[in-house]
Amino acid sequence: MSLGLALVGLTAAVPASRRCDRLFLGGFVHTPAGVRRVGIAVSGGRIAALVESDQVEGWRKATGDVVDLGGAHVYPGFTESHGHLTGYGAALEQVNLHGAASFAEVVERARHAASALPAGAWVMGRGWDQNLWPGGAFPTHQALSRAIPDRPALLRRVDGHAVLLNARALAEAGITAASVDPPGGRILRDGSGAPTGVLVDDAVALAERVIPQPSAADIERRVLLASHHLAEFGITEMHDAGTLRSELAVLRELRRAGRLPIRVYVMLDGSDDSLLAAELPHGPWRSDDGMLTVRAVKLYADGALGSRGAWLSAPYRDDPATRGLEVTPPKRLRDVVARAAMAGFQPCIHAIGDAAVTRVLDIYEHEVGSRSAALRPRVEHAQIVRPADLPRFATLHAIASVQPAHCTSDMPWAPARLGEDRIAWAYRWRSLLAAGARLCLGSDVPVASPDPRLGVWAAVTRRPPEGTPELGWNLPEALTLEEAIAGYTTWAAYAGFEEAQRGTIAEGFAADFTVFDRDLDASAPAAILQAMVLRAVVAGRDSFIAGSPTR
């Protein structure tokens, strides 16, 4: 006490004990108190201090690594609140065949990709469309088989309803001239009756069943690939919505070796009883360095709106014969939620249709009950919410985990699915907030791009980046820019029980930063899309620096 008083009035000399590992200078720092021109001293992966200009020299002397941010804007590290890490990695490894103007181009893209794969790995591709080629006929496998003779290849058509196999894949799938078309599917054949390599609809399963399960090495490669891409988008943490047992083992190994480029918040695959039995008894777990957290369980209540799998309380407007799909029996949902809650794990249930949302809230009410404030149960997607359910989110301490870019991608066809009345219940972020619900934001990558600029743009404007239509869709449901950024930072941190550790730039918080070259300025929405990610910092280390190889 007396020592403290004695120091009052002295110049702002830095005590020798306040050394730091890195000092970030020259940035516009987005803090809870507004944008400040302060330095950020980082020590042990945390923010040691926000450094005023008159203290910089003292800190500089005690710092090994001084980073000049050159007037860039430093935001708290963005979190992707709902994505699929290995799924994203797998998608990135697939050959992109979209827009190929000839079959020769398809073959060349596949051949090029094959040369980068480990021996024996399947070449997986997606996006060919024979309507874009001269003649417009379905392809046959011969040119592909010549270009890729030594490993199987499976190239999916743009709509996903047909695949082209090379000779090696046909052989592995056991498809010959003698094969019989399965119910609901077709094996296309040439004049002599030999398979052409194209399988349609339910015949695709003949090939899918022989694709090997990914090895630990495959999973590791995909996790790292996905993580590096996420870092390039400025993402510093991913909430992995349904981690498989094999994936968790790889994540733990990467974390132990200090090789995880971004933080991962694991939602265990709730369909795997052996995984739940292995993890739940230990209780929630967070690694010492905070890079890996295991404290949530993921389940599915229904499907998706585009394929009419979302479970609605009344029939689809454009298909009155269906109300969608309940993909998990309610008894199973209740059982797993009860087990998760008992073990202190956060339940996270995919619910898109309004009937699914009601079902999930009912389950939280009965199975989580008085623990809900402590467990913060999540409704993943919460796309269509009945008015009567809006206040229940706050009552049940439930978080709506939403993906703003789904609103803008779905708007061309969602009104047809739901009809004029119910469309007002869709993507209703403002209504949820007004009813006291907490939100967190994400993309559901690889379903959509994980680029948070697109998410923030969609949340604020509710129109696609191309700018048409000029006015956003049901604009009163839009978020403000501050809310959208909170959805990726402070609110996302809350959704992962990390609001006291990260999501905010303040002393003591994790040194996770997303650095843009400009302010994400709501008064000029285009700035959101034009902003460039210059740097992603996780626990004080650079996960991405624009223009320099970080892998």
Which positions touch Zn ion (CB under 5 A)? 241, 444
The two tokens of residue 114 are: 């094959």
Give 103 or 300: the residue with its C-beta nearer to Zn ion: 300
Length of the chain: 551
Min CB(442)–Zn ion separation in Å: 9
Cα gap 177→189, rounded to integer Å? 8
Min CB(58)–Zn ion separation in Å: 48
Min CB(223)–Zn ion separation in Å: 16
Q: Which of 286, 236, 288 is nearest to 266 (CA)?
A: 286
Give 220 or 444: the residue with its C-beta nearer to Zn ion: 444
Give 88 or 473: the residue with its C-beta nearer to Zn ion: 88
Neighbour-count burial of 321, counting CB atoms closer than 10 A to its CB (0-12 exposed, 13-18 middle, 19+ buried): exposed
Min CB(303)–Zn ion separation in Å: 11
Cα gap 380→444, rounded to integer Å? 10
Cα gap 124→338, rounded to integer Å? 39
Give 46 or 229: the residue with its C-beta nearer to Zn ion: 229
Give 123 or 333: the residue with its C-beta nearer to Zn ion: 333
Give 198 or 400: the residue with its C-beta nearer to Zn ion: 400
Give 25 or 304: the residue with its C-beta nearer to Zn ion: 304
Min CB(299)–Zn ion separation in Å: 12
25, 30, 305, 419, 461 from 76: Cα distances, Å? 15, 7, 33, 40, 22
Q: Which of 248, 242, 239, 259 is nearest to 216 (CA)?
A: 248
Min CB(444)–Zn ion separation in Å: 4
Task: Provide DSSP, 181-238.
Answer: PPTTEEEEE-TTS-EEEEEEETTHHHHHTTSPPPPHHHHHHHHHHHHHHHHHTTEEEE
Min CB(182)–Zn ion separation in Å: 29
The two tokens of residue 521 are: 């300025």
Give 172 or 451: the residue with its C-beta nearer to Zn ion: 451
Query: Which residue type sits at 106?
Result: V
Question: How many C-beta atoms lie closer than 10 Å to residue 474's C-beta?
Answer: 16
Question: How many C-beta atoms lie closer than 10 Å to residue 526's C-beta?
Answer: 12
Q: Which of 310, 476, 471 is nearest to 383 (CA)?
A: 310
Which residues lie below 8 Å from residue 12, measured CB to CB, with a gap of 6+?
52, 54, 55, 58
Q: Are 300 and 349 in contact (CB under 8 A)?
A: yes
Cα gap 263→290, rounded to integer Å? 7
Give 299 or 398: the residue with its C-beta nearer to Zn ion: 299
Give 39 or 442: the residue with its C-beta nearer to Zn ion: 442
Min CB(232)–Zn ion separation in Å: 21
Min CB(87)–Zn ion separation in Å: 8
* Residue 236 DSSP one-character state: E
Give 241 or 495: the residue with its C-beta nearer to Zn ion: 241
Question: How many C-beta atoms lie closer than 10 Å to residue 139's C-beta?
Answer: 21
Min CB(242)–Zn ion separation in Å: 7
The two tokens of residue 374 are: 């402590």
Q: Which of 327, 233, 238 is nearest to 516 (CA)?
A: 233
51, 101, 389, 496 from 227: Cα distances, Å? 31, 31, 36, 18
Min CB(82)–Zn ion separation in Å: 6
Min CB(241)–Zn ion separation in Å: 4
Q: Strand 123-128 and strand 95-96: pairing?
A: parallel
Query: Which residue type sits at 64?
Result: G
* Rg value, the chain, Cα: 26
Cis-peptide, bond into residue 452, ω within 30° of zero: no
113, 166, 465 from 121: Cα distances, Å? 11, 13, 37
The two tokens of residue 331 are: 């008894």
Give 110 or 356: the residue with its C-beta nearer to Zn ion: 356
Min CB(269)–Zn ion separation in Å: 12
CA atoms lying within 13 Å on the CB side of residue 160? 1
Give 172 or 240: the residue with its C-beta nearer to Zn ion: 240
Min CB(324)–Zn ion separation in Å: 17
* Residue 228 DSSP one-character state: H
Q: Name the β-bridge partners of 163.
A: 156, 199
Give 80 or 218: the residue with its C-beta nearer to Zn ion: 80
